[in-house]
Amino acid sequence: MLAGVITFSILGHLAHELELPVSEVVKSGAGLAFISYPEVIATFEYVPQLYAVLFFLLLVTLGLGSASGLINTCITILKDDFPSLSKTAVSDMACLLGFCDGVVYTTPGGQAVLELVDFYGGSLMVLFLAVAEIIVLNYIYRTSNLVRDLQFMIGMKLNVYWKVCWSFVIPISLSGILAFYKPVEYAGTALPVSAQVSGVMVTTIGLLIAIIYFIHSVVRSWGRKTGVLSPLESWGPRNLKDRIRWDQDKMEQEDQEEMVEIHFNS
C-alpha cells in the first residue's frame, strides 16, 4: 500500500505537469521502473542524481532478493529429491542456468521476450495454480478444517467473513481475472501469433507438471488407507501437547457436524 501510494501519486503529479492522461504516463511492468519513475526523479529540483542512484540501488536490492528466493526454491527442491548432491554444485548449476536464461533478455528483442515470459510463465500460471490450490483447500480438505487449523495456530476465533472469502469470493474473483485474458503486448502492439503460442506452451508445460505429479501421487497411494485426497495420519502439530489439544478440537468439530447432520435429516 505504501509503495502504491508513493508511486502513483508521483506519476499522477507527472501526468498533471505534462498535461497528459495518466494512461500515457504510467507504464506497466519494467517500463514503470525504468522509464516512468526515472522520468519523475529527473524533475526533482534538488540533487536528482542522488535520488536516481538510491532508486536504482533499491531496484538492485529488490532484484537480488527476488532472485535469491527463486534460486533457493529450486535448490531446496533438488536437495530434497537428491540429498546426495552437493549444495554448492546445485547452487552453481541453478545460478548458471539462470544467468544463461537472463542473457536472452539483454538482446534487442529481450524486452518483448521478458513481457511474454513474465505473463505466461508467471502471472497466468500463478493464477491457474492459485485457483487449483484454493479449490483443494476448500472443497477437498474443507473450509471447516482449514478454519479449525488456523484458529488453533493463531489462538483467535475466525468469523464467517473468512469462510465466505475462502469458499466463494477468492475462487470467483481469481477465475474472473482469468476471463479477462488478452494477448501480451509490447510497446502497444500485440506480439506475433507464434510468440503467443510459445507463451501458451510455457503455461501448459508448467500446468502439466502439476497434473503429472498429481497423477503420480494418486498411483502411489492406490490401495493405501490414506489416499492422495485426504491428509496423512501424521498431519497435525508436531508438539505432543499441541497434538492432543488439536485432536480434541477435531473430535469436537466432528461431533458438532454429526449432530447438525442428524438434526437436518430429522
Sign of CA dihedral 27, 31, 35, 39: positive
Instruction: Give the number of other CB atoms < 10 A from CB of residue 11.
Output: 19
User: Are 15 and 21 within 8 A, CB to CB?
Assistant: yes
Instruction: Give the number of other CB atoms < 10 A from CB of residue 17.
Output: 11
pLDDT tier, 227 (very low <50, low <70, confident <90, very high otherwise)? low
Q: What is the value of pTM for the model shown?
A: 0.67
pLDDT of residue 14: 76
- What whole-number distance in Å separates Cα of residue 242 and Cα of residue 149? 11
**Strands (DSSP E) found in 132-240:** 185-186, 189-190
The predicted-structure confidence for 118-170, as pLDDT tens digits, reads as follows 888 888 888 888 888 888 888 888 888 888 888 888 888 888 888 888 888 88
Q: Which of these ranges, 24-28, 191-195, 261-265, has the smallest mean pLDDT?
A: 24-28
The average confidence (pLDDT) of the chain is: 82
The SS3 call for residue 256 is: helix
- Helix orientation angle between 193-220 and 124-139, rounded to the nearest 10 degrees: 30
Cell of 101: 536464461
For the chain, the domains span: 1-43, 58-104, 108-235
pLDDT of residue 201: 92
pLDDT tier, 208 (very low <50, low <70, confident <90, very high otherwise)? very high
The predicted-structure confidence for 177-200, as pLDDT tens digits, reads as follows 888 878 888 777 888 888 889 889
The SS3 call for residue 190 is: strand
Cell of 187: 510497446
